[in-house]
Chain A
């Protein structure tokens, strides 16, 4: 094989790689809303949050922390937040998480109680296990803000 042929082959290979990479890039750029879909879009998420609120009210480990809050506002904000985190077309407009929880001195016991109630609320709404796990994974970065660590 001549040098020229090698060059052409090399260029062709590079172009091929570039095309493949470019294709992947554009695929990645498209927003992945599969989790949002699995959660039943905004309506499904709103139902989970509603059931979560009922569970919180009944839970003596944490209901004191929610005393005096605006329930409708909380429902709206948390629904927006979960919608946004799951790749849905919403924007969380509530206060910044660390600032919001800074005076609450939330313990690990209370954080676990809330996590448990969220899982139970998702189960009540027949959210598949995989979607539950993916949503919790999205929520993990909020842990240090909520615990004020």
Chain B
């Protein structure tokens, strides 16, 4: 089902009439791609870049479908965003986590019959200063992500305190021209205050810690040319629940941006231990259309 939607979206974007070429003036790939939380960035980490290609006199938007398949879980994300004047980004995302193997743990351990977790994320990001390409000090943005569980039964049973929470982050991004082997290097650093468990899919706060903590997230990417970006991301995570330890996330990604309308991202992701199931690794695929 998801595969069919991905293919349909790709085809629709590729055959979109040339009249849609009026799509925003920022340079190719400077909108980043859509993260699993809807904000513009990489796959796991939001960047200071704002989504789409809107420059300072333009509107732009994005839609994205993403899927991560790790050993015992699969995560599907549908996201959309709007960008006003490359100043303000508004995003929405719906995450669905298929529990697969965890279904049995929940049934035997907690008597719960549930096979998926759902979460909505509403995001806003404002560009505070600078331009990722042209400013010597890079581009700086601040953002919020309000996250809301759609069914709190499972997170509540394993010790999460709240069914909603807000992440606040500050992010800096800078492209260094001709930095490595004459290729352009993109560097991003994000500091996020959060009390989300596994990004919020396991609720907010817990018995070990119930307050916001500062987490560091970073990524580097090298543009092989203006269509291909290869890189890595790291995302530090809190560990609020006594029920199971939570690990940091990281990924190695390859993004293809054939033109402004389409971006395809593939990644190897490592989510570590997730809700008692160890060493969750797998593949991530994301398609983004811009308009």
Contact = CB atoms under 8 A, between A and B. Distances in A.
Nearest to A115: B27
A111 B134 contact: yes
A109 B178 contact: no
Interface string B1-30: 000000000000000000000000111100
A130 B131 CA distance: 22
Nearest to B86: A108
A10 interface: no
Contacts of A108: 55-56, 86, 131
A129 interface: yes
Contact of B178 (A61, A113, A133, A143): A133
A101 interface: no
Interface string B89-103: 000000000000000
A61 B226 CA distance: 22
Interface in B97-140: 131, 133-136
A140 B56 CA distance: 19
Contacts of B56: 107-109
A140 B25 contact: no
A129 B178 CA distance: 9
B25 A113 contact: yes
A119 B27 contact: yes
> In the complex, which range does the number of interface residues on chain A fall in?
20 to 34
A112 B183 contact: no
Q: Interface majority SS on B: helix, strand, loop or mixed?
A: loop
B27 A116 contact: yes
B237 to A, nearest CB: 35
Nearest to A134: B178
Interface in A97-134: 107-113, 115-116, 119, 129-131, 133-134
A140 B131 CA distance: 12
A78 interface: no
B205 to A, nearest CB: 41
Nearest to B224: A129
Of B25, B57, B182, the most chain A CB neighbours within 10 A belong to B25
Given A107-B57, A131-B182, A140-B136, 19 more contacts: A109-B56, A112-B55, A115-B133, A116-B25, A116-B28, A129-B182, A129-B183, A129-B226, A130-B178, A130-B181, A130-B182, A130-B183, A133-B178, A133-B182, A133-B183, A133-B184, A134-B182, A136-B177, A140-B177
14 contacts: A108-B56, A108-B86, A109-B57, A112-B26, A112-B55, A115-B27, A119-B226, A129-B224, A130-B181, A133-B178, A133-B182, A136-B177, A137-B178, A140-B134
Give the 3 A-B CB pairs with smallest separation, nearest first.
Answer: A130-B182, A137-B177, A109-B55
